[in-house]
Amino acid sequence: MARSSTPGFSKSISSTAIPVRRRTLSKRPDPDYDLFNSTSHRWLYNESLRLAERQRIFNLPGLRQLAAHSVGRQPSDILSLSKLGEGGFNRTFLITMRDGFRMVARVPYGFPPVYLTVASEVATMDLLHSKGIPVPKIYGYNPSPDNEARTEYMFMEYVQGTSLADVWQDTVQNDPDESRAILKQVLDRDLEGLVTRTPIPLEDDRFCVGPDVSHMSWFGRRSQLDVDRGPFARAQDMLVAPALKELAYLKQFGYGYKEKFPAEHTANLRRYLEMVPSLIRNTGTDLGRFCLRHPDLRDGNVFVERRSDSTDSSSVAGNGKWRIVSIIDWERTSALPEFLHDSVFQQLCVYDPQPDPDERPWHPNIAPSLPGNFSEITDEGQRAKVEETYRRQFINHLYVQSGGPWMGETLELKVGLMKAEENWDILNGVARGSSVPAPSCPITFDPQDVAETMALMKTQARVDWPLRIFEGITRISEAGREARKFCREELEEKLERAETEEDRERVKEHWMYNDRDEEVYT
């Protein structure tokens, strides 16, 4: 978000790349190599592509000059500039002045649309700061590379505090009440109380809502599409936009695929579009309030400090021992209808050590289910609450599935649509007890097609399970080169078990972590 004439908020979908930590690279002839290149991650396949995407060469003296001037200093006042961290879309640097003052510089890698993304985050943080949300102060920024540094940049306050990531797991395990007190600060006071419950106007005298700048909306050749990316005034327009974007992409680029033809996925996207108008309730405002939500609310993006009047054995009147001092990384923040904020999966959670199996954590990539005892619920109020939760989660699921880039499959979306037809009496846009007649489901599937699709889904789940376990192991091995070593040893073991040379060639050809051609699906 930027000042009134510049676009602002955007929804967010996390990057799907799986980085694996690695040790510092050996010294290179260029002393500034580490500043321009990714040096803290490894990838299990297509590593050269990931490294090339994250290389960003800029004018270092120019960046130092701009940084110094943003806080009323001179370049000669800078004692050091070093890499602070690398994320999915940006590289950050710590700048230290000779008097001890520290600040952060952030340079984006270049994933489109860079201009809108930088302007959006700066304006989002400006709005949050005006609402009393603890966010870093912005010293300066430029969403265009037309400057002395020859790159887009942001300069912001260096946050003094402890990363919640350093204390969260220990707190959750040993002091659940304290972890809930921290969550209460985040959700009730810092975010929900001041932002999420306040609808965001499309434009006022300081800010305006701009187009969607999520990575998936601009992924690959989608950046070439002339489609409506918002801003949207109606929830229905927001719900259909991702599917319309994918249909436009498949029409323009999808029919060049060699391995798969996207006709079935296109048909399922059109089924979803037929269903959307009947999913929106005409009464109430539960689906029409556009509000804010942090796109990646996890422990690494929250900084805390211990309260001065707290001890290890006591908390402050229910406020907890820790106080939140800053919440960072607001890039690609969402301005969505309130119910769609569930689609921004929050990783900062406290789970019951003995959870109810019917209250397991839900993710929008997974079709939600009604609780196993749903048919036994007789209280009308409780039943209505369960149905409403299910309805909101299911709309979230269809929304996410319809907007994801097509990778040759349509099974998840098709199964979701079939389950929507099956539970249409709950999902339709007419509230329980309303005098308005419920609309019939606008889509139908042949029973044989349903049976075959559900059987295929079960088979797919059985095949995917070992892969998920394997990927879980590789993600755990984040020290040095352990993940790559594990994958190499797994491949060698499979090759040893192969009985013929033909089998070995087939194993190598279909190994899940081979480099692959990504252009065909971008």
| 400-455: pLDDT as tens digits | 999 998 888 899 999 999 999 999 988 886 766 667 777 889 999 999 999 999 99
pLDDT-derived band at 189 (thresholds 50, 70, 90) equals very low
Coil vs helix vs strand at 422: helix
Please tell me which of 76-85, 188-197, 369-378, 499-508 the model is most confident about, judged by mean pLDDT: 76-85
Coil vs helix vs strand at 207: strand
Over residues 249-264, mean pLDDT: 76
Q: Percent of the chain having pLDDT more than 90?
A: 36
Over residues 245-259, mean pLDDT: 80
Helix and strand numbers (H, E) in the chain are: 14, 12
Tokens representing residue 323 in the block: 């106080």
CA-to-CA distance for 18 and 195, rounded, in angstroms? 31
More confident position, 42 or 107: 107
- 92, 139, 144, 85: which is closest to 116 by C-alpha? 144
Is residue 217 within 8 A of residue 229, CB to CB? The reply is yes
Tokens representing residue 464 in the block: 């995917």
| 217-238: pLDDT as tens digits | 999 899 999 999 988 888 889 8
Q: Using the Cα atoms of residue 305, residue 308, residue 309 and residue 310 in order, give the sign of their dihedral.
A: positive
Decide if pLDDT at 301 tops 70.
yes
pLDDT of residue 310: 55
Q: What is the mean pLDDT of the chain?
A: 80
Question: What one-character-per-residue DSSP string does 287-313 give?
Answer: TT-EEEE-TT--GGGEEEEE-TT-BTT
Fold classification of 32-157 is Phosphorylase Kinase; domain 1 (3.30.200)
Tokens representing residue 43 in the block: 């990838």
CA-to-CA distance for 340 and 239, rounded, in angstroms? 9
**Domain range summary for the chain, segments of one domain joined by +:** 32-157, 190-295+330-408+462-474, 477-521
Angle, to 10 degrees, between the axis of helix 447-476 and the axis of helix 482-497? 120
| 91-137: pLDDT as tens digits | 999 999 999 999 999 999 989 999 999 999 999 999 888 888 889 99
Decide if pLDDT at 282 tops 90.
no
Q: Using the Cα atoms of residue 429, residue 434, residue 435 and residue 438 in order, give the sign of their dihedral.
A: positive
pLDDT of residue 259: 57
Decide if pLDDT at 348 tops 80.
no
